[in-house]
Chains A and B, each alone.
Chain A
Amino acid sequence: MLRVESLSKSFEGFKAVNNANLHVEKGEIVAVIGPNGAGKTTLFNLITGVLKPDNGKVYFKGEDITGLPPHEIFKKRISRSFQVVNLFPRLSVFENVQIAILSREGKTWNLFSPSKKFAIEETEEILERVGLIDKRNRISALLSHGDQKVLEIAIALGGKPEFLIFDEPTAGMSPEETSRCIELIKHLSEKMGLTILFCEHDMEIVFGIANRIMVMVRGSTIIQGSCEEVRCNKAVQDAYLGGGDECSV
């Protein structure tokens, strides 16, 4: 469904992403792992149009989407959440999700009918799904960090995506929030049939939900394969998993 071919991006000579390759099939959950500064966020920014690549190609459903601006990518039904919370802080939880839907439906130029007539059911449905319906009227800046991260996902769902990208969805969450978030991701994959690409530092989570894993070190793809393949790969163990032989599993 998504194919990334030798994608590269430099910042003033520093190669943040260097020849990254990735492919994600429909319905899969794929994890990108790698140490801090490996270029995971930059890779996601390149895919979603927030940054323009220097080299390489991104294909979505066979179509070349390399370098398209973010709002075009959004229209292609690719949505993302951010590592650092990136919400509309003065708006309510409900409005945060609603404007994503209004935008998708092309209603943002309606000046004279009340907003409260639009996208109500869909917004409520999304909030129900992610478990924020009770907090619908809360100003989003006043939510707990964990809830804000979940709202990130809810806004992404407002784009009615087929493909979701989550940048460290559980970062900073309490253990209970984390397990609820994992349930949510599984739910999105299993019940809604969405394809999901995410990155995460917690290996337990990664091995728990990912179908396949791509390992990135210093901007480059070392390997992409099943959890087993990745766990047993020598280069990965040296570079990342700390050398310990866990292949006896």
Chain B
Amino acid sequence: MKGNLLGRKGLLTGVIIILFLFILPFIFPRFYIYMTSIILLTGLLASSCNIALGFGGIYQFHHAVFYGAGAYAAALIITKSSLSPWIAFAAGPIVSAIIGLIMGIISIRLSKLYFGMLQVSLGSLVWVIVYRWYSFTGGDDGIHGIPLPEILSSANGAYYFTLFITGLSMFVLYRILKSPFGSVLQGIRDNPLRSGIIGVNVKRHQLMTLVIASFFAGVAGTLFVVVDNTVFPDMLFWTLSMEIVIMCLLGGWFTFFGPMLGAAALVALRTFVSSFTVYWALILGILFTLVIFFLPNGILGYIEQKFKKGTEVSVDRG
């Protein structure tokens, strides 16, 4: 990962996007405010997945579990206890992180694809519990009309809260990737054997990565409760996990903002083609295939490559 995404141009793009996001509620109708909130939190979800997938080389195939778990934890605390919703919002990510830790401890000893498969199995188990435990979780109905604190109950309030928390979370994730831990993590992705030989405890670093990834998935899940006031079992179904992986690949899984871009693309697409929902899986499949064949590094990866061509990657030999 190169630090200054695209240098000065990247910074300028960033500033414009942030300004745009700030004034968006004054320009666009409510529907777009809602959609942008969903894009932001889904982008955070994909970015958190990509910490493990793109930067850690860990096959994070069932990331939705941690998203759903965080959302359910927050929703259940709000509806079933007398605790403040703010406590519920803090508890969501923590519950996700704990589930991430437990599932991680069980599956981290397996490598690569086997890890991914075990994660899908364990995650499906969590889904079954949520889906079947009707009296507690509401089963396939989910939980609706979750009451929120006053300032979050308007679309604008929820939007700005989501914008702020997403921005903060992305900042923290970025800092982590740029830290010694982040450097070592990318080293493990590239070459776990050599990492071990130079003294890195590979499994323990990967476990920590899983905890970080699931924590921020839980943040995204909690934001969904804020934006949509609902939770439902599909939030932790494996098809969403596949979508998350596609977001990462589409946007660029070796870039920091790629998954955010991929999420924006997929959420927008899903919203506008929702009249043919039967074909959604088909559309995803085609998209996935196209990305694998034509943009193996994703959209942002492609742009970065193009940009770098002109400068430092003119490989001179010797």
Contact = CB atoms under 8 A, between A and B. Distances in A.
Do chains A and B stick together as partners? yes
6 contacts: A86-B193, A88-B190, A115-B178, A115-B182, A137-B312, A176-B318
Interface stretch (B13-21, B24-32, B85-93, B199-207): B199-207
Interface of A: 48, 50, 69-71, 74-75, 80, 82, 86-91, 95-96, 98-100, 102-104, 107-116, 118, 137-139, 142, 144, 146-147, 155, 158-159, 174, 176-177
Nearest to B181: A111
Given A90-B189, A108-B205, A159-B199, A103 B184 contact: yes
B184 A102 contact: yes
A144 B318 contact: yes
Interface of B: 175-176, 178-184, 186-187, 189-191, 193-201, 205, 254, 312-313, 315, 317-318
A109 B63 CA distance: 24
A48 B197 contact: yes
A112 B201 CA distance: 19
A95 B176 contact: no
A18 B92 CA distance: 58
A90 B198 contact: no
A91 B187 contact: yes
Contacts of B194: 82, 86-88, 155
Contact of B178 (A96, A114, A137, A142): A114
A112 B181 CA distance: 8
B180 A108 contact: yes
A98 to B, nearest CB: 7
Contact of A89 (B190, B196, B197): B190
B197 A71 contact: yes
A109 B181 contact: yes
Contacts of B191: 86-89
A103 B200 contact: yes
Given A71-B200, A90-B189, A98-B183, A174 B176 contact: no
Contacts of B313: 139, 142
B38 to A, nearest CB: 29
Contact of A71 (B186, B199, B312): B199
Contacts of B193: 86
Contacts of B195: 88, 99, 103
A103 B198 CA distance: 7
Given A88-B186, A146-B318, A111 B197 contact: no
Contact of A107 (B180, B187, B312): B180
Given A74-B198, A95-B187, 9 more contacts: A87-B194, A88-B190, A88-B195, A99-B184, A103-B200, A108-B200, A138-B315, A142-B313, A155-B194
A173 to B, nearest CB: 10
A71 B301 CA distance: 34
Nearest to A143: B315
A142 B178 CA distance: 22
A102 B315 contact: no
A115 B186 contact: no
- Which 5 pairs between the two chains have the least Cβ-Cβ distance? A88-B190, A71-B199, A70-B197, A103-B199, A108-B184
A134 B190 CA distance: 23
Nearest to A104: B199
Contacts of B318: 144, 146-147, 174, 176-177
Contacts of B176: 111-112
Contacts of B315: 138, 142
A179 B146 CA distance: 73
B181 A99 contact: no
Contacts of A90: 186, 189-190, 254
B186 A110 contact: no
Nearest to A89: B190
Nearest to A106: B199
A176 B318 CA distance: 9
